[in-house]
Structure 1
Amino acid sequence: MRIDGHLDLAYNGLNGRDLRLPLEALRASDPVQGQIATVSFPELRTSGLGLCLGTLFALPQTPDSPHGYTDAAGARAQALAQLEQYRRWEDEGLIRLLRSRKDVVGHLESLDSLHDGAAPLGVVLLMEGADPLRTPDDLPWWAGQGVRIVGPAWGATRYAGGTDAPGPLTALGRELVGALRDLQLTVDASHLDDAAFWDTVEIGPRLIASHSNARALVRGNRHLSDDMARAVAATDGVIGLVYLSSFIEDGWQDGQAGTPLSGLARHAAHYAGLVGWERVALGSDMDGGFGAEKTPAGVGRYRDVFALGEHLPAGENAGVLGGNWARWLSTHL
């Protein structure tokens, strides 16, 4: 069973990428400039991926993204469009939206009973950055649509300090995290700044880090410190590994050859030494704002993601490549 904890499928689909195409055809017509696509539905089927956490990611306005959102209404509109994209794909039989533990268990059982590629890709919805929530009162509606995991931050949001944007939870953020706890939903700690992270721990929700590498190996608040990794594990959470070279090798620069895949295995082993191999999984973020031009050496398309197993202890491969997410989802979703 192969599971990825972080794929921006609908975001890419609404950026004009037709993920129904074979990867070579997608690359030939790719409207996204400067990124070499690695993900399409035929490519995911060939890889053996059976389930993923698929994001609802609203892009804020930045100098590089002048058409991003500037307020809650704009963020909500992006997330709603992505939700509709997932529903269209489900109608086409390409994916199956999984909204509960029962759905996950049934999907995993169906994958075990069918030949590879015969079942649609299972997708659990994860909201990356909480700005699409106009207020925390919106949370029950989104939960009703299938969102089971929310990351309060990306950069800074109205809810929390985030990547390269230090700060705590805001008053709205504290209210949101409390609501996630009370609804038995999960906080994705990826992108939370340290101050916001520890505020979240104090409130006490269940945690995962869908796509975060180890700060002990790469500097910056985008990555988890050792104490943060332990805090995620203390809630029975899982940590997903990211396939971006600059998140794997400290000091890696755009234009350099991809870092060796063994470097990502170092992050896996570091986490395992802190919290056990059963907490280590994949959160590849493939095509999440980067493509094959920035992935590790030898990872030129999605099917290559699972070559990581060759660099892991033999007895831990199955867990890291999918079994650990399967356990967590079957227990906590």
Structure 2
Amino acid sequence: MRSYVSKLVLSACLSATACNTTNASAAVSASPEAIALAQSSIIVDGHIDVPHRVFEAWENVSAATNSGDFDFPRAKLGGLNAPFMSIYVPSSLDGTDASTQRAHQLIDQVEAIVGRAPEKFAIARSANEVQQQFDKDLISLPLGMENGAPLQGELKNLDAFYQRGIRYITLTHAKSNDISDSSYDDNRQWDGLSPFGETVVQRMNQLGIMVDISHVSDAAFYDTLKVSRAPVIASHSSLRSFTPGFERNMDDAMVKALAANDGIIMINFGSSFLTKTAQDWYNVRDQAQHKVDAEFGAESPQAKLFSDQYRANNPFPYASLDDVVEHIDRAVKLVGVDHVGIGSDYDGVGDSLPTGLKDVATYPNLVQGLMNKGYSTPDIRKILGGNLLRVWQQVETVAAKLSGPST
């Protein structure tokens, strides 16, 4: 029996030495039943940006931290045991050796986290390892690369990253790269996947690396489904029906196509992924900022002052836990419970997380929301992690059939 919900753990968190009091109070607002379900489940979060966070400013996340959305005490409190560590490489480095170097440096960061606390963490290279590490009371740290640009057009780099533990790759990020067009970039140079991108997807299938279509253009999404012989994931995307015009999210037809591929959409917790109100706030803010930048210069004191004051004068309309539940529920109604998961984007979406889900201590709140919606225990376990583990195992099976290296 796992025992992380002891009074000692709760009081340690509430003391503010393990986590800040705001997050602690949110973490324990769920019912005992919801907390117990979170603690007894394998929670696989598809996307957490700890590597980039500690690369920018090292923090020992094996102990309590005063910043960020993730550390060991809060993960234990929330029941999180398999967060995919995002090996995020910014598009500004695309096409350079620095891109490949950055990816390796971020993997080094995760290895350092594990090396400093092997009694708490372990890198997971297969779905079975996640289960084995769960049984050993360890938090698994599987690796997912966000942006395929570090491959630099070379399949040998893909093979090397597989050997280092990468088990999914988000094909692109903010810009069209040599693999795929991006949902954020008006430059649609490939009208979907590039020829090299098709080869990358095929090789990922052979190796047993999950193909992640978060961030890609709609055309690239459909190209990927045509090429891939294994299920595909959206590691941190939400539903476009709630955010019309936001291509970064998935429309209903795409969610259905993903499910027909036996894949999974993992709902992003960022407020702008969840509500049109938050989307509109960013759009208005950006337009106003651009005007100031154009008049005075982007690096001017006036531009900085505007940026600092805008949020204070125009409070951000945070989404809520209920909004996350609504995205999950709509996806389930579209395609069934077997094709939905969670990809929070903790440590990646800044100060835009919804009320009730401010850090990794708060997964029991999500469990409570799903219980309140009428979801059964088996279905909640699927959403929390079972579905992603199933897809991962299917990807491994396809790789074995294609005579790729074993995992």
**Is 1:161 matched up with 2:186?**
no
* C-alpha RMSD of the superposition: 2.0
Q: 1:324 aligns with which of 387, 394, 397?
A: 387
Which residue in the other structure is 2:85 paired with?
Answer: 54
| Contact 1:3/1:321, CA 8 A, preserved across alignment | yes
Q: Does 1:314 align with 2:375?
A: yes
Query: Structure 2: how far apart are the matches of 1:240 and 1:170?
Result: 25
State the shift of 1:152 in Å.
0.7
Structure 1 gap segments, 5+ residues each:
28-36, 62-68, 111-118
More strand by share: 1
- Larger mean Cα displacement after TM superposition, 146-155 or 174-183: 174-183
| CA-CA distance at 1:74 after TM superposition | 1.2
**Amino acid across the alignment from 2:171:** P
Match status 1:176 vs 2:191 = no
Report deviation, 1:303: 1.0
1:305 lines up with 2:355 in the alignment? no
After TM superposition, give the deviation of residue 158 of structure 1 in Å.
2.1
Whether 2:303 is the aligned partner of 1:245: answer no
Residues 143, 166 of structure 2: 8 Å contact kept: yes
Query: Which residue of structure 2 aligns with residue 10 of structure 1?
Result: 51
The structure whose residues are more often helix, as a share, is: 2
Which stretch of the first structure deviates more once superposed, 95-104 or 123-132?
95-104
Deviation string, structure 1 residues 212-265 (Cα, Å, up to 9, x no partner): 101111121100111211222223222111111111111312632422211111
- Which whole-Å CA distance do the structure 1 matches of 2:115 and 2:167 have between them? 21
1:276, distance to aligned residue in structure 2 (A): 0.6
Tell me which residue corresponds to 1:116: none
How many percent identity over aligned positions? 24
CA contact (8 A) 1:242 1:283 kept: yes
CA distance in 2, matches of 1:249, 1:276: 22
Q: Name 2:167's counterpart in structure 1.
A: 148
Q: Are residues 301 and 108 of structure 1, via their aligned partners in 2, closer, same or farther at CA, if it must alter by over 3 Å?
A: closer
Q: TM-score, normalised by structure 1?
A: 0.85
Answer yes or no: is 1:272 the counterpart of 2:332: yes
- Work out whether 1:40 is the aligned partner of 2:71: yes
Say yes or no: does 1:26 pair with 2:66: yes
Equivalent residue, structure 2, for 1:263: 323
Secondary structure at the residue paired with 2:277?
Answer: coil
| 3-state SS in 2 of match to 1:132 | helix
Q: CA deviation at 1:131?
A: 0.6
Q: Residue 21 of structure 1: CA displacement?
A: 6.3
Aligned pair in 2 of structure 1 residues 19, 247: CA closer, same or farther (>3 Å)? farther
Counterparts of 1:238 and 1:19 in 2: how far apart (Å)? Answer: 32
Q: Among residues 242, 254, 262, which one is paired with 1:217 in the alignment?
A: 242
Distance in 2, Cα, partners of 1:175 & 1:19: 39
* TM superposition shift of 1:70: 4.8
Residues 101, 247 of structure 1: alpha-carbon distance in 2 compared, 3 angstrom cutoff: closer
Instruction: Return the match for 2:226 from 186, 196, 202.
Output: 202
Offset of residue 57 of structure 1: 0.8
Deviations, residues 140-178 of structure 1 (Å, cap 9, x unaligned): 111111112111111222211113215321232122122
Name the CA distance, whole Å, in 2 between partners of 1:184 and 1:88.
25
Tell whether the 8 Å contact from 1:104 to 1:330 is kept in structure 2 after alignment: no
> Is the CA contact (8 Å cut-off) linking 2:153 and 2:196 kept in structure 1?
yes
The DSSP-based 3-state class of the residue aligned with 1:314 is coil
Structure of higher CA gyration radius: 2
CA separation of 1:326 and 1:5: change in aligned 2, threshold 3 A:
same
Amino acid in the other structure paired with 1:175: T
> Take 2:368 and 2:390, find their aligned partners in 1: how far apart are those partners?
22
1:104 counterpart (110, 125, 130): 130
SS at match of 1:56: strand
Q: 1:301 to 1:98 in 2, by over 3 A?
A: closer
Q: In structure 1, how many angstroms separate the alpha carbons of the residues matched to 2:357 and 2:129?
A: 31
- In 2, Cα distance between the equivalents of 1:107 and 1:330? 16
Partner Cα separation in structure 2 for residue 285 and residue 264 of structure 1: 13
Write the distance in 2 (CA, Å) between the matches of 1:234 and 1:203.
14
SS in 2 for 1:4: strand
The aligned counterpart of 2:290 is: none
Tell me how far 1:285 sits from its aligned partner.
0.5
SS at match of 2:236: coil
Q: Pick from 339, 346, 355: which aligns with 1:286?
A: 346
**How far apart are 1:210 and its partner, in Å?**
0.8
SS in 1 for 2:247: coil
| Amino acid in structure 2 at the alignment position of 1:178 | Q
Mapped partners of 2:257, 2:154: distance in 1: 24
